[in-house]
Structure 1
Amino acid sequence: MESILVKIQDTVAKYADVLSKISRVDVEVVDNRLYRVAGTGMFSELVNQDMSAEGYVYRQVLKTGRRQIIYSPGRELICQNCPHCNDCQEEIEISMPVRMGMEIIGIIGLVGSSREQKERILGDEQLYLEFLEQIADFISTKAREYREMDNKNRLLDTLDCTIGYIDQGIVIIGDDHVITTSNEAAKKQLELDMPEGTYVEIEATGDRMNYQNEYKMKVGDREFSIMGHLYDLPQKKGRYAKLLLFENSKAIQKKYYEMTSTVHTLDCSNIIGDSEGTQKMKREIMQVAQSSSTVLITGESGTGKEMVATAIWNASNRHSGRFVAINCAAIPEALLESELFGYVKGAFTGADPHGRIGKFELANKGVIFLDEIGDMPLYLQAKLLRVLQERKITRIGSNQVIPIDVRILAATNRDLREMIREKKFREDLYYRLNVIPLEIAPLRERMEDIPPLAEHFATHYAKLFQKYFWKITEPVLNCLRQYPWPGNVRELENVVEFMVNMMGTDGVLDEKTLPREVRERGGKSEEKNSSSDGEEDERTVHSETGRGTEEVLTLKELEQRAIRQAIARYGDTTQGKKEAARQLGIGLATLYRKIGE
């Protein structure tokens, strides 16, 4: 490893040359390993040579740390072990240690080889010593500066290496707003090369979310929204004034989306059915997908409005963006605004202290699906209308306006025109939403879809429950066709799930697996349309008591039957129970209580 004097060899050589010219004697400088770093006169041809075998006097200086003056070279006691003791060419020698702190890093040798030089040195000995000490100090200062710079460069190299492994973006900026260095994560997140010397502007917006501050970062003619922290570095000035640790808002939105949203992979191929209505719907989906206009999807509950919305997104040029769905009926009115538009730290009492990103912001460059739009309160309808007109949002508690590029798909099972007449829905919003209307027919109007749908659901749940499935019998399909399906496809799926649970090891879905209500109501419809099998119809129409008149049930039994039917229709999930409670005209808490009775 090279000594520090070797690393600043050019500087040392200049000082040796200056000293030699002023003193008019030969000068050599060796490092602490007795390697000649610089030399003048008779030493100039001997630079870069090891002199450890002959530098006895220098070795003593390194050992004692004191300067040595040899007035009679070759004849003094210290010279006895020198290999040139008997043929020494020197008349006088002054050896001065070069210190850096407590460390001796080298020696300056002032060598007079003639009597004239010796007399001149002796005549002004103190002046020569002081000048020699000063040159030693100069060399020491340069060595210290080099070491500090070397340590700083090593530190910066370590820093560059370290920040290269950090996932967050890091940009180090000088006090002149010029980039000193940045890591690959920063370049990747911003999709921008930021070489050293690039001018950058960073301005805090005042918003704070998820423990981080929001900043607007401008590089050239491009502007970015980022979340992170801007730190003052200890130096505060020069090239290392500030450190920006950040994530692109897009990256944060992606993480938040992955944590809070369902992955949607459904497209037109997942819409099952052979009816003309279903085939027409598929064609319309492919047609409207290429547009950026707002779509209003209408249809009864359970017809698959979200599936249609997902298929539109997947077939559009926004499929690389996000599909963000929100059910306006499932979220309390007081929280719906914050879910849609987000909020910053301290926006309102009870809010997440770290703030939250809203659904519109998450859906930027993608699609937002507003399900049950008819349940949106009037004051929010006005805000939604403004978003549709201006394509901008503002988080709750913030004054920052955020531009968005979002396609809006809305859905409802309610009659919005009737709601307009009742002053429960804004007419101007309706026309903004109903640019492209899509109506999904109820399942009872497309009975051709029932066999393929039932087959699909049976295969799915048999695989899920690890059961063998072979077929659905024709009498069962006839019964399913005759049932009116008030809950539409969702109810059909729940019925088939029940049937697969009841299915035997033969893998056949027969009449024994049908839920009682479907068997009874489907049988009644079939009886009206067919006079055959009257005896079997009678058994279906009437109760299982075997009597020709229907069994009289208590009010309690009727209530329990209605609850079971509603849950069978809308599902045993929390959302299904909410819908069941709404259809029964009772609260969700009341429904849970009655289920437990």
Structure 2
Amino acid sequence: MESRLKQFQSYIEKYIEIIASVLNIDIEIVDDKLIRIGGTGIYKNKVNENVITEGNIYSEVLETSKEVVVLDIEKNSSCVECSNFEQCINKSIIVVPIKYDNQTIGVVGAVSTDIEKKKHIKSKIDSYLPFIENICDLISMKIEEHEVNKDNSKKMQMFHEVINNVEKSILILDTQHKISYINDIAIKCLKLSNNQIGEVLNIINCESYTNGKELITINIGGNQYKITAKTIPVYPYIKSYDKIIIFDKVNEQVELPQNINTNWGINNIESIVGNSYVMQSIKHRIKKLSKSNSTVLITGESGTGKELIARAIHAEGNRRNKPFIAINCAAIPENLLESELFGYVKGAFSGASNSGKIGKFEFANMGVIFLDEIGDLSFHLQAKLLRVLQERKFARIGSNKLIDLDIKVIAATNKDLLKLVSEGLYRDDLYYRLNVIPINLPPLRERKEDIKDLINMFMPKYSVELNINLYKIEDSVIKMLENYYWPGNIRELENAIEYMMNLVGEDGIITTDMLPIDIINYYKKKNMLVQVCDDEGCLDVNLQEIDDEIMKYEGKIISIKDLELIYINKLLDKYGRTTKTKKEIAKKLGIGLATLYRKLEEN
């Protein structure tokens, strides 16, 4: 059976030439069967020979897995016992094991036949040895990489085999929105061919049913299909793929259901979940602006539901029966985004489709276009978008023909655009053109009174989807969910509910031990509080939060003033340094705002 090293012979040959030239000595690599896999100098023409009669030291290293350095072969006991000792021309040798998967699979031998060079090697052994060790590690890493790739290839083969044998149509898209794989049922259903692997698939509209499935309009090669499907994001778990689309059949003609639901409910604005004062204000604003054609800018942290608010504006407005087209400006590569937005004509550029392409603006004409992650646009596209917004006209790439636009634009971002403007990273004229009607969505931690209502919305959804009978969620669980700080906002809350629902037992009860690990760890950290007091009062300090800062004082005594300052700065870094945030932090610390400022100024 071939040794592991033998499979990498060509790769190894490249490395040994490098080692030999750097160290200026001959190199040979021998596998665990004592076969020479590669060699330089006097060993170059002896590759694939067995060294069993001249390899006492190699046998020793293979057996012990420990490196051996012999600076004088004539005085070494292992060499003296070698049957080849009399004919051996080597004067010194360094042997290092190549290890993989806790086994020694071969050795690297650095050999000198020069008597004078022995002294040089002896003086440089401290640098020679680590260099050879690193080469051994590189060889091991190459083998591991090969094994992982081989394993992944087998898994992908099995994955494709599985999806080809399920009774559903399956399309797999890569990160460029191109068809990476399509199973036989989908080929038949969409009347496609395997030749369309690599072709771009555009999702040009997407609405959600009350049963959790989506009505998707897709475009492949200029042909449109309406399908009722489930879209599963798989990146970065399978890095070569972006999403999997699973569907049963093509709906030739589709009538949208009376009540469309995207978790918050977009047909009736009052069905948006949240009765907190801030959410009531947002709903009232949506009611007032939905009939307007003015541009809306929705801001807020990731996961707060910006697209759902955009859909609510569309559903409440006079364009509700016209297209709603959403595009994520951050998810599409810069060189493709312009053609995605504006389309192109036949022969517009190298690689362009012969049939041309309709862009998102053209698809959304008469309706609503939602530009998500608008803060990620390049300066070039910022200028082009500004012109479109001002003139309400655009041309496809490669064409001089202007297309009139009757469109409502809704943009969204989780970035501070005004800050980007001040830093010269965003056009101020575009910012003001977008920010005609601003809507700021609060993070979930600032509308905690809505959390219970959101829980009561997500629970039935996953009870049906997972076919689980849920009888009760313990009050302690709800309390912990309400008091968690939710960095991922509503998206994280929904994921937490889905996670817990998967753990529900036969009793149908959700208990605190079913909470996601991030939430459990949050409360573990929260319990690591100490009270720090001075003449002005006491602070509750979370030692876990400032552990890394305290480490800087290791071996020293830290003053109460320094401890307070570290903690206050940590809170400001975490929650922000605005006046509003400082007031909130001061209030929660039980001190006045003036006291907080004084403690900061004492730094």
Work out whether the TM-score is over 0.5. no
Larger Rg: 1
TM range (shorter): 0.3 to 0.5
Calculate the TM-score normalised by the size of structure 1. 0.45
